[in-house]
């Protein structure tokens, strides 16, 4: 079959790496892709939000299956559009994608279905939000309702910080329309974990667990990023944890989908906080996580295309899903300055010397045979091992062979960081 993958990050590189092993796949296209993806797929110069352009391409190139990586096209309704033209596409429809596209909608879903989550209130009126800003004490969490490229969540330590964030979101429109509505939420403390699940509307199957590292510096210091690395399985993962997640979270989610007539088909990413009062849901994403995917998919034994087709056909309950015992670690190498401003266009050296890892490209671009940086998160160096420790040693050995001007990365990916 001909497959089109939409997206250009490390997540999409990992998806393409995995599906390129499928005997069912003849040719892979990727829009817009990156320099690493180019070795496995034909790059197509169409942006992920250009739904009409992608549709035209899929029709003209006889695409048998389209796989959507990022949230933006899903929230824009690419799945509904492709389906209305009789094209097969993997991902949730527009109605279901609201579970990532609107924080208030998600909070309402969680509350109505008694799924444990932080207390919250939503506001569209600045004055009302201001009046109630103290309601949950401090720190307090403020969230722009809509998509804000991962930047729409502010943890305010005091009233002053909360007011600044509120003004930026609602008055100055820092996130545009995404901040027209906001959520004020109780601050939870605990250890975060992510569970990614395959969902076909009726059945929900968790993948092996993974953990990402959001803060830019070692020991979880500094500002939030899109993710500086990941490892799998999470140190929290044991039978008790899995049972609690299944009982308290997953069963209620699938029941909630059915009650709300949400025909969710695709990947559900559940962000959790393990608090001393039990596990609570922080957020949903309606797609694979980045960089979680880079440590999860290399552990998947089963053909990912088979799983995706079983989801589209609502036969996930009949699909066997097998995982390797090997553990994985992925270290993200970033541009100087990231997550704030950074320069692009630096030559990347050492990629040909990598022996024991797979380098998933994120922000890279090729020109005249050389690879250049083209984003904040540039590469994800992923290695496998019998233990997480073995995997991290291999990954860091290969990271040390890579260089570009002002590159930086965390030195503690794969280590357990507990909150201070």
Binding interface with ligand AMP (CB under 6 A): 118, 141, 153, 155, 185-188, 192, 214, 271, 282-283
Helix (H) or strand (E) holding 273: strand 265-275
Q: What is the distance of C-alpha 352 from the center of its chain?
A: 28
Judge contact between 151 and 313, C-beta under 8 A.
no
* Touching ligand GLY, residues 276-305 (CB under 6 A): 285, 289-290, 292
When CB distances are held under 5 to 8 angstroms depending on the partner's kind, the choice from ligand GLY, ligand AMP, none that residue 364 binds is none
Binding mask 205-224 for ligand GLY (x = CB under 6 A): -------x------------
> Which single residue brings its beta carbon nearest to ligand AMP?
283
Cite the DSSP H helix spans in 151-279: 159-166, 239-244, 251-259
When CB distances are held under 5 to 8 angstroms depending on the partner's kind, the choice from ligand GLY, ligand AMP, none that residue 185 binds is ligand AMP
Rounded to a whole number of angstroms, the minimum distance from the CB of residue 300 to ligand AMP is 24
Nearer to ligand GLY, 133 or 304 (CB): 304
The first and second tokens of residue 313, run together, are: 């056909």
> Contact between 179 and ligand GLY (CB under 6 A)?
no
Nearer to ligand GLY, 71 or 122 (CB): 71
Alpha carbon separation from 72 to 75, 76, 108, 269, 286 (Å, rounded): 5, 6, 21, 15, 10
Nearer to ligand GLY, 380 or 404 (CB): 380
Angle between helix 103-112 and 94-101 (nearest 10): 100
Can you tell me which residue has the tokens 């995982």? Answer: 323
When CB distances are held under 5 to 8 angstroms depending on the partner's kind, the choice from ligand AMP, ligand GLY, none that residue 200 binds is none
| Angle made by CA atoms 164, 167, 168, in degrees to the nearest 5 | 85
Judge contact between 394 and 383, C-beta under 8 A.
yes
Judge contact between 410 and 228, C-beta under 8 A.
yes
- Interatomic CA distance for residues 274 and 284, integer angstroms: 15
Rounded to a whole number of angstroms, the minimum distance from the CB of residue 119 to ligand AMP is 9
Nearer to ligand GLY, 121 or 220 (CB): 220
When CB distances are held under 5 to 8 angstroms depending on the partner's kind, the choice from ligand GLY, ligand AMP, none that residue 118 binds is ligand AMP
Q: Which residues bind ligand GLY (CB under 6 A)?
A: 212, 227, 285, 289-290, 292
């Amino acid at each position: 079959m001909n497959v089109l993958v939409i997206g250009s990050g490390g997540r999409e590189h990992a998806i393409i790496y995995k599906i390129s092993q499928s005997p069912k796949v003849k040719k892979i296209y990727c829009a817009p892709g990156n320099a690493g993806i180019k070795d496995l797929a034909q790059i197509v110069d169409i942006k992920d939000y250009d739904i009409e352009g992608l549709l035209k391409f899929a029709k003209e190139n006889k695409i048998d299956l389209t796989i959507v990586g990022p949230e933006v096209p899903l929230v824009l309704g690419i799945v509904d559009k492709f389906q209305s033209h009789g094209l097969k596409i993997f991902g949730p429809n527009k109605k279901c994608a609201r579970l990532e596209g609107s924080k208030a909608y998600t909070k309402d879903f969680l509350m109505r279905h008694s799924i444990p989550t932080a207390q919250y209130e939503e506001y569209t009126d600045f004055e009302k939000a201001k009046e109630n800003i103290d309601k949950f004490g401090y720190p307090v969490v403020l969230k722009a309702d809509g998509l804000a490229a991962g930047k729409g969540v502010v943890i305010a330590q005091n009233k002053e910080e909360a007011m600044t964030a509120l003004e930026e979101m609602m008055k100055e429109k820092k996130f545009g329309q995404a901040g027209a509505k906001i959520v004020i939420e109780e601050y939870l403390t605990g250890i975060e974990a992510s569970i990614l699940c395959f969902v076909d509307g009726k059945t929900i199957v968790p993948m092996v667990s993974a953990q990402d590292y959001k803060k830019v510096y070692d020991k979880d210091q500094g500002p939030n990023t899109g993710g500086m690395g990941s490892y799998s399985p999470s140190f929290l993962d044991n039978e008790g944890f899995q049972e609690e997640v299944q009982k308290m979270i997953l069963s209620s989610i699938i029941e909630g989908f059915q009650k709300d007539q949400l025909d969710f088909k695709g990947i559900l990413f559940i962000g959790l906080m393990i608090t001393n009062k039990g596990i609570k849901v922080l957020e949903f994403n309606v797609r694979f996580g980045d960089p979680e995917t880079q440590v999860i998919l290399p552990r998947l034994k089963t053909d990912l295309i088979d799983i995706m087709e079983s989801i589209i056909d609502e036969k996930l309950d009949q699909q066997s899903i097998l995982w390797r015992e090997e553990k994985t670690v992925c270290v993200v190498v970033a541009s100087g300055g990231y997550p704030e401003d950074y320069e692009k266009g630096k030559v990347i050296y050492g990629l040909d010397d990598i022996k024991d890892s797979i380098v998933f490209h994120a922000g890279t671009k090729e020109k005249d045979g050389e690879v250049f940086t083209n984003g904040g998160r540039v590469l994800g160096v992923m290695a496998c091992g019998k233990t997480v420790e073995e995997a991290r040693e291999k990954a860091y050995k290969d990271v040390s062979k890579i260089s570009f001007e002002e590159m930086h990365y965390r030195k503690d990916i794969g280590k357990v960081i507990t909150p201070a």
